[in-house]
Amino acid sequence: MKIQTAVAHFDEPLYLESGRILESYDLKYETYGELNAAKDNTIVVFHALTGSHHAAGRYEGDTKVGWWDPLIGDGKIVDTTHYFVICVNVLGSCFGSTSPMSINPKTKEALRLKFPVLTISDMVRSQMNLFKRLGIESAHAIIGGSMGGMQALCMAVEFPSFVKRAILLATTYATGPWAIAFNKLAMEGIKNDPRFHDGNYDPNDFEEEGLLSFAIGRMAGHISFLSPHSMNKKFGRNYVETDGLYELFGRFQVEKYMEYNGHSFAKRFDPLSYLYIIKAMNIFDATRNYDSLEDSLKFIKAKLTLIAFQGDCLFMPEEMETIKTTMENMGRGDRVDYACIDSHYGHDAFLVEYDKFDFYIKKALEAKV
């Protein structure tokens, strides 16, 4: 599989949904496979909150593969011998695209909290500019889970002629208060950490130990990615260590899991990027500029495939089902497929239980449109 990583610089303004303007910006992206002569074999993959453009393959010297590697590659479900796959690091993220810590060319200083609030729509429009530059006029399919699914839905509504097939996993059409509440813990954690200094931190300070309160906020996220059932299955009441005599004083496995994931994340992810991305998720509402969900969905030309997970406590199956029933009520039931996967992995399932849903992705990619 041919992997290419690149940065595209755009020296033209991006008009943001908020009314503000990003004068210029970079997008870091990765591609797998090759664009064919007709330029009609593109599959756009959108990453989630903490993901990056590195969706598949392994970099030299790395032990880990990209975040959706089991699905993307030569001979895999998203077959890179046929398709040209592209994944763009979203605006605001800290893996190479323009973010709050990017240097403002005018002031030579990082933008930090002067960085504008972004929306999912802003992220999507910036990516469209990249596809245009690459000469891609339409995508065979676009795929995303969680925040990636929000981008997919948004692109299907706002760029209907670009999108032939849209596959959404573990996502919603409008972020609910439960998800906003979990994000709130991270926001408060970051904001109140004494080392955050109202955004004027020195990132080098975090190399050895991330912001402690950011880590707590991320631990909260890790609760929301699981579910009571998945936690029972994964951890139960198991102790990781006791003091020998009395397990009363021991530490639970679930506590160790949270500590590890919270602290390691706080070391590797920029807190300002996190603030801006969860803000974009919180304010995502596919109905915002429309009278209703129906009024929004009616713009979609793509064949929609919705994959929900039974145990998802962050974006409940009911939310994706609402997209399906709204399409049906509009007399467009033939343009939507919905599957609710029986899973105990909670929201994380779209990154774990590939064998339970890859069939639906295969079917969606092969669907006549």
- Residues carrying an active site annotation: 146, 312, 347
Return the SS3 of 157.
Answer: helix
Q: Does 111 bind a second copy (CB under 8 A)?
A: no
What is the CA angle 29-350-299, rounded to 5? 70
> Which of 147, 185 has the CB closer to a second copy?
185
What is the Cα–Cα distance from 293 to 332, expressed in whole angstroms?
A: 14
Please list every residue from 70 through 99 that binds a second copy, using CB under 8 A. none
> Which of 81, 192 has the CB closer to a second copy?
192
Q: Give, for 30, the enclosing helix (H) or strand (E).
A: strand 25-32
Q: Give, for 216, the enclosing helix (H) or strand (E).
A: helix 212-225
Binding residues for a second copy, how many (CB under 8 A)? 55
Stretch that binds a second copy, among 83-91, 232-240, 266-274, 301-309 (CB under 8 A): 232-240
The Cα-based distances of 368 to 46, 137, 139, 256 in angstroms read: 22, 19, 14, 48
- Give the total residue count for the chain: 369
- Spell out the alpha helix ranges (H) of 235-310: 253-268, 271-282, 293-297
Q: Which CB contacts under 8 angstroms, 24+ apart, belong to 286-289?
A: 286/150, 286/153, 286/154, 286/157, 286/173, 286/174, 287/173, 287/174
Q: Does 310 bind a second copy (CB under 8 A)?
A: no
Q: Does 220 bind a second copy (CB under 8 A)?
A: yes
Among 15, 249, 260, 299, binds a second copy (CB under 8 A): 249
Among 194, 200, 204, 366, binds a second copy (CB under 8 A): 194
Q: Does 329 bind a second copy (CB under 8 A)?
A: no
Shortest distance in whole angstroms from residue 121 CB to a second copy: 11
> Which of 203, 236 has the CB closer to a second copy?
236
Q: Does 252 bind a second copy (CB under 8 A)?
A: yes
> Which of 316, 364 has the CB closer to a second copy?
316
Among 11, 19, 61, 64, binds a second copy (CB under 8 A): 19
The Cα-based distances of 98 to 7, 9, 67, 228 in angstroms read: 10, 9, 21, 37
Q: Does 7 bind a second copy (CB under 8 A)?
A: no
Please list every residue from 113 through 132 that binds a second copy, using CB under 8 A. 117, 119
Shortest distance in whole angstroms from residue 322 CB to a second copy: 12
What is the Cα–Cα distance from 120 to 124, expressed in whole angstroms?
A: 6
Evaluate whether 254 touches 223 at the Cβ level (below 8 Å): no
Q: To which residue do tokens 């139960």 refer?
A: 236
Stretch that binds a second copy, among 131-139, 159-167, 242-250, 358-366 (CB under 8 A): 242-250
First to last CA, the chain: 27
- Binding residues for a second copy, rule: CB under 8 A, are 17-19, 117, 119, 174-178, 180-182, 184-185, 188-189, 192, 194, 212-213, 215-217, 219-220, 222-223, 226-228, 231-232, 234-237, 245-249, 252-255, 258-259, 262, 282-283, 285, 288, 313, 316
